[in-house]
Amino acid sequence: VIKCKAAVAWEAGKPLSIEEVEVAPPKAHEVRIKIVATAVCHTDAYTLSGADPEGCFPVILGHEGAGIVESVGEGVTKVKKGDTVIPLYIPQCGECKFCKNPKTNLCQKIRITQGKGVMPDGTSRFTCKGKQIFHFMGTSTFSEYTVVADISVAKIDAAAPLDKVCLLGCGISTGYGAAVNTAKVEPGSTCAVFGLGGVGLAVIMGCKIAGASRIIGIDINKDKYAKAKEFGATECISPQDSKKPIQEVLVEMTDGGVDYSFECIGNVGVMRAALEACHKGWGLSVIVGVAAAGQEISTRPFQLVTGRTWKGTAFGGWKSVDSVPKLVTEYMSKKIKVDEFVTHTLPFDKINEAFELMHSGK
C-alpha cells in the first residue's frame, strides 16, 4: 500500500481537500500509476457541483493525467513498470462489440463499474481516514498515485513532456477528433465553433488542419478571441452583439449557413442554435459539450428534413489505446498544438485555485 497526497472531494459543492490517502496495490489486470501531471476539466467541476446523476462521494476526481507505471497486477501484458502512460476515461478492450465496430470508440467492457466509482471487481483501491474513497471516470488523476484497469491506459513516448500531454487525456483529443473524425471537415469548408474554451480551441485547430477556409468562433467572453485566432479562427463574434438570434446572424454571414458547426459548451439552447446555423441540404452539427442531467434538445423536425445532420461525439471518436500514442507523436512532430493550451501551471495543493481560474474563464 502506498501512502500519498490526493485531492479528495468529500461532498458535493465543497472545495477539494488535500489529504493523505492509501492506494492499494493493483489486482489482476490493473495498473498503478504515479501521476506526474493532471489538468482540470469542466467535467470534474460538473460532478463536484452535485449535478452529475452518476456522481458518488467521497471521490478522487480528475481524468486528464499523465504519469509513470509504478507496478502492474497479474496478467497485465501491455505495459510494465517504468512505462510512460496516459490514463483513459474511455477504455479500449478490443473484445466487446463496440471495440470491434469501426464506427464507435465507446468501449463498454467496464462501463457499469466505472460509472459506480469502483474498479471492475466492484471495489475501490483508495482509502482515507478509514473510509473507502470512490474512483472517478476510471482514472482519478487528482492523486499522486492511482489505480486503473489495464484497458484504460495508453503507453506513450517516454520523451513526451507530461505536464503538456496530460491534456490529450480529454479536452484536446475531444475537440480535435470532433472536427477530423466525427464531422470529417473538408478542405474549403466554413465552420462555426460555439464556446472558445480548451475544447473549442481544439475544434478550431482540427478544422484548420482539415483545411477549412473560414472558421467562425462564437463566445460571449471577448477575452478569448485573440487566442481563438492564434489557433486558426478567421473571425470571432458574440451573440450579445446582435438583437437577432445567433443562428440568423451566422446564416446571413455565410450565404445560407455553415457547412459544419460544433457546440462546445453543454448548453441545449446553444445546441439548437448550432444546428440551425447549418446550411440547408448538407450542414452538419456536432454536439461536443455535455449538458446537465435531464436536459433535452429541441428543434423543428423540418431542420433535419431539409438536409441538416445532428451528431454527437465522445473523446473525439478516437479509439483510445490505439489513438492516444499517435496523438502524442503528432504533438511531438508539431502537427498539433498542445503547449499553447496551457495557461497556468500550479502546485498540486493549489488545485482549488485551478478550478477558480477555470470558472472565471482564465
Can you give the residue range of the structural domain that contains 163? Answer: 2-169+319-352
- Mark whether 152 and 8 lie in a shared domain: yes
- DSSP letter at 179? I
In a domain, 358, yes or no: no
Crossing angle for the helix pair 351-359 and 42-49, to the nearest 10 degrees: 100
- Mark whether 59 and 119 lie in a shared domain: yes
Quick check: 231 and 199 in contact, CB under 8 A? Answer: no
In a domain, 291, yes or no: yes
In a domain, 46, yes or no: yes
pLDDT at residue 292, rounded to an integer? 85
Give 306-347 as a DSSP string.
TT-EEEE-SGGG--HHHHHHHHHHHHHTTSS--GGG------
Quick check: 299 and 276 in contact, CB under 8 A? Answer: yes
- Mark whether 68 and 193 lie in a shared domain: no
Q: What is the CATH number of the domain that holds 144?
A: 3.90.180.10
- Cell numbers 438536409 correspond to 307
Number of domains in the chain: 2
How many CA atoms, within 13 angstroms, populate the side-chain half-sphere of residue 209?
A: 21
In a domain, 88, yes or no: yes
Crossing angle for the helix pair 268-276 and 246-253, to the nearest 10 degrees: 20
Cell of 39: 489538468
Quick check: 312 and 319 in contact, CB under 8 A? Answer: no
Q: What is the CATH number of the domain that holds 176?
A: 3.40.50.720
- Mark whether 43 and 9 lie in a shared domain: yes
Exposure string of 289-323, with b = 16+ CB inside 10 Å and e = fewer, is bebeeeeeeeeeeebeeeebebebbbbbbbbbbeb
In a domain, 359, yes or no: no
Sheet containing strand 190-194, edge to edge, reads 235-237, 214-218, 190-194, 260-263, 284-287, 309-312
- Mark whether 142 and 185 lie in a shared domain: no
- Mark whether 204 and 324 lie in a shared domain: no
- Mark whether 177 and 162 lie in a shared domain: no
Nearest alpha carbon to residue 177 among 202, 154, 201: 202
- Mark whether 12 and 79 lie in a shared domain: yes
In a domain, 276, yes or no: yes
Tell whether pTM > 0.85: yes
- Mark whether 165 and 176 lie in a shared domain: no
Question: Alpha carbon of 45 to those of 40, 63, 138, 262: distances in Å?
Answer: 8, 11, 16, 22
- Mark whether 179 and 76 lie in a shared domain: no
In a domain, 361, yes or no: no
- Mark whether 13 and 99 lie in a shared domain: yes
- Give φ, ψ of 55 to 5 degrees: -65, 130
Give just the sign of the alpha carbon dihedral 84, 288, 314, 111: positive
In order along its 362 residues, the chain shows pLDDT tens digits of 999 999 999 999 999 999 999 999 999 999 999 999 999 998 999 999 988 888 999 999 999 999 999 999 999 999 999 999 999 999 999 999 999 999 999 999 999 999 999 999 999 999 999 999 999 999 999 999 999 999 999 999 999 999 999 999 999 999 999 999 999 999 999 999 999 999 999 999 999 999 999 999 999 999 999 999 999 999 999 999 999 999 999 999 999 999 999 999 999 999 999 999 999 999 999 999 999 888 999 999 999 999 999 999 999 999 999 999 999 999 999 999 999 999 999 999 999 999 999 998 88
3-class state of residue 2 by DSSP: strand
- Mark whether 165 and 215 lie in a shared domain: no
In a domain, 67, yes or no: yes
